[in-house]
Chains A and B, each alone.
Chain A
Amino acid sequence: MMNPNQEYNLNLPQQHIIIMNAPLLRRAVAFAIDIAFILIFLLEPFSVFFKSATSSQSFLETLFTIHPGLATILLASSGLITVLYFSLFEYFAGQTPGMNLVNIKTNIPTFSKAIVRNIYLIPLTPFNLLLIIELWYLFRTKQRFTERFTNTPTLYSMPLEDN
């Protein structure tokens, strides 16, 4: 009969993994997938709205042909949706669908950090100016500026084979 106070070594197989900053290529692919998803699905309701304003139903085509005031409304709305998309997925699931497909993730303790981390996605001044800083930091340190600022790096885990 087994003693509940004694520890047993059951020799279960254990997996070793390496965790490192996510490679740039994986980040780019993940970002492209997420942006495509946002443009095709989440911003679709705006195409109905813009059909009445212009002869175009394409979101991007509309952006370049409509009145500047209307373009500002469009950019602000799409920016909000985009920031919420990235923030909600990263906070609740640790990764967006695009990140999931390329196996990179992050760990964000608070929702406010998730928002700050993705604020550069708002395509209006002054937030869009952050994009330049983000890209420069990313190419130099493999982390974005806001990731370092909030201490929420995007990581890639790679399994190691046991010898």
Chain B
Amino acid sequence: MKTQEKNQSQERKHNPWIVALAIIAGLLMLSTLMAGCASLFVDDAYKTGNVALINVAGEISYSGQTNPLQTTSSSAQHVIDQLKDAQENDEIKAIVLKINSAGGAPVASAHIMETVAKTDKPTIAWISELGASGAYWVATGADHIIAHDISMVGSIGVIGSYLEFSEFLEEHNITYNRQVAGQYKDMGTPFKEMTTAEQYKTRQLLDTMHDYFISSVAQQRNLSKEEVASIATGELFLGMQAKEKNLVDQLGGETQVKTYLQNILNESIDFRTYTQKTSVFNLLQSLSSSMGEQIGSSLGKTVLEEQPQAQFSY
């Protein structure tokens, strides 16, 4: 023990509140950064849960776009990989496809549907807001489809529309110099008007794809081809209407999905959400493109605001 005289006029070198706030702010930033980085590198295998929850959102295509800030598309290859992973994982007892998509590429959609249909574990397609066209095709691969009363379901059809600029080119004295070997090689190019023969051939392609789509839905849903053809006008149905037409099996949401699974598996349901992996490079790329878009948009707005407005006088 020792005694020490204390001088009350001793000055403090640092303001302790500023030091404390600076340290806490710095540690909070570090913690946020570490949590964010950890989420990039953690594999789906690390997650817990006995039911795989795989998201099918946005436009369906093979490549997809991995934008973590604004997911607008589903990579078919990613979904298929996740389905295969869930199939092989013994901890996973069932698979739920959570669908919110207007469809997309036909082959990508068909491939996902076939992979879903091949799994020997119980599969449920849970349509949230929208399950149309290719997305509905994906849903038909599941054992059971659940949609909300007012989900948008269906749109069993094929679309091949595109913008044609032939008149625009003509007005601006631009000539499309056609050089092809094979008369239908440039069929569908926007730079020329489609000939009658090309229209006929395109029509045939679309009808064949449509027929394939109808046959697949009829087979997966245990309906007659005529039944499906009668509703395959490309129109969307509300969930309650789709239920009447046997396009979906049950109306409901997450609660109904879990109840259905509990009845099948006889155990409590814990979802394991599968996510699309994003590389650090893709993250940086999307961040920089997002920043570039913001900067360009701000500059554009500034320029437009500064332009003198037209004044009318009498």
Binding site for B on A (CB under 8 A): 12-20, 41-46, 48-49, 52-55, 65-67, 69-70, 73-74, 77, 80-81, 84-85, 88-89, 92-93, 97, 160
Contacts and interface: CB of A to CB of B under 8 A. Distances in A.
Contact of A93 (B5, B20, B38, B273): B20
Nearest to A16: B3
B20 A45 contact: no
B266 interface: no
Nearest to A65: B48
B303 interface: no
Contact of B271 (A18, A55, A67, A160): A55
A93 B32 CA distance: 24
Contacts of A65: 48
B10 to A, nearest CB: 11
B48 A66 contact: yes
Nearest to B270: A55
B4 A17 contact: yes
Interface of B: 1-8, 14, 16, 19-20, 23-24, 26-28, 30-32, 34-36, 38-39, 42, 45-49, 270-271, 273, 275
A16 to B, nearest CB: 6
Contacts of B7: 14
Given A16-B3, A66-B48, A73-B42, A85 B27 contact: yes
20 contacts: A13-B8, A15-B5, A17-B3, A18-B1, A19-B1, A45-B34, A45-B36, A53-B47, A55-B270, A66-B47, A67-B47, A77-B34, A81-B34, A85-B23, A88-B23, A89-B20, A89-B23, A93-B16, A93-B19, A97-B20
A14 B46 CA distance: 62
A54 B47 CA distance: 6
Please give me the 6 A-B residue pairs with the lowest Cβ-Cβ distance, nearest first.
Answer: A45-B35, A70-B46, A67-B46, A45-B32, A49-B35, A49-B39
B49 A42 contact: no
B20 A15 contact: no
B30 A81 contact: yes
B122 to A, nearest CB: 20
Contacts of A77: 31, 34-35, 38
B3 A18 contact: yes
A19 B47 contact: no
A53 B48 contact: yes
A84 B3 contact: no
Given A17-B3, A67-B47, A73 B38 contact: yes
User: Which of A15, A45, A85, A160 has the most chain B CB atoms inside 10 A of its CB?
Assistant: A45
Contacts of A92: 14, 19, 23
